Amino acid sequence: MAGPLPVAGILRGECDRYRIHILGDIITAYGSMILAPFNMAKFAFPTTFILDPWFTGIILLALLLAWVFKQQSRRMAVSGLVVLFSFVAYQGYLHQQAVSIAESYSTRQGWVDAKAYALPQFLSPYHWKLVVTNNDQYHVTYVNLIKKESQQAPTKMNPGFIAQVRAHFKPVHDLGWRVHDRYGKQTDMQGIAKEIWSLDMFSDIRRFMKFPALDRIEQRQEGTCGIFIDHRFVIDGLRTPPFQFGACQHKQQTWRLYRFKAGKGILLK
């Protein structure tokens, strides 16, 4: 009878699992605080969408082949890893292509201090969201790196989500840039937005959000609420933005922190 697995072996297995988890986080737009607790900065090289069907499919195919060909399961697993790493490397190449498109746009505008970003998107490794930050504005567009012609947006007779996504991403020569203001476009909204963004209770939200922008100011039962979204996770016009955080003030009382989900305010502080 085999003895118990040595503690060192267990620890090695746990370390391998955590290393894979950390690497998996770094290649998404979420990033990972790999230096925590000494430094809470997030590091990311966003090559892969958080729910990538191709990435997942490669893993599942390798597992299936390892199960079918049990005598060569190790070879199947190693081959799967080689294909997976090659795929991520190719995504890294596409990421650089996407960034260069955003940088070219920034150069044409004559901006000196602007920064260009490319974020992987759903369904295809050729789908990218481009973000150029300039002062308190985000210039955003959606590109398909290999598409030759734009697709017509689906009609009410053909409202499929997949068709909507494909039509949303344009070829390089037909990009339309949208402008989003960090604190809103209206002057009377900007004062409230800046006050909320600077609140001490908002410190964790400030660390979390990469491209924060005021989504709306509205009157709710919680009071006057200013609600922020993060443009890392927004697909304009296709879905309700996730991770909506804000603060509400009822009758000039102190601000209270909320998360907004499915139209409901969840009190955090």
pLDDT digits (tens, 9 = 90+) for 210-230: 999 999 898 888 888 999 999
Is 1 part of a structural domain of the chain?
no
Q: Are residue 112 and residue 217 in the same domain, yes or no?
A: no
- Looking at the structure, do residues 172 and 193 belong to the same domain, yes or no? no
pTM: 0.81
Q: Is residue 86 part of a domain?
A: yes
User: What would the two tokens of residue 253 be?
Assistant: 């009382």
Cα dist from 10 to 6, 14, 15, 81, 137, whole Å:
7, 6, 9, 22, 49
171 and 228 assigned to the same domain: no
Of 128, 154, 181, which one is at a domain's C-terminal end?
A: 181
Same domain, yes or no: 198 and 146: no
Distance between CA 252 and CA 212 in Å, rounded?
25
In this structure, are 56 and 176 located in the same domain?
yes
- Does one domain contain both 99 and 171? yes
Final residue belonging to a domain, choices 150, 181, 212: 181
Hey, which of 17-26, 43-52, 67-76 has the most confident mean pLDDT?
67-76
- Please report which confidence band the pLDDT of residue 89 belongs to, taking 50, 70 and 90 as the band edges: very high
Say yes or no: 40 and 57 in one domain.
Answer: no
Structural domain span for residue 26: 7-45
Same domain, 153 and 263: no
Whether 122 is in a domain gets the answer yes
**Number of domains making up the chain:** 3
- Does 246 have pLDDT greater than 70? yes
Q: Which tens digit of pLDDT belongs to each residue from 187-218? A: 778 888 999 999 999 999 998 899 999 998 98
pLDDT band with cut points at 50, 70 and 90 for residue 36: low
Q: What percent of the chain has pLDDT over 90?
A: 45
Collapsing DSSP to helix, strand or coil, 209 comes out as: coil
User: What are the helix (H) ranges across the chain?
Assistant: 7-26, 53-68, 73-109, 161-168, 187-197, 203-208
Return mean pLDDT, the chain: 84
Check residue 7 and give its pLDDT: 45
pLDDT digits (tens, 9 = 90+) for 141-186: 999 999 888 777 665 555 677 778 888 899 999 999 999 999 988 7
User: Is residue 10 scored above 50 in pLDDT?
Assistant: no
Boundary of a domain, candidates 116, 149, 181: 181
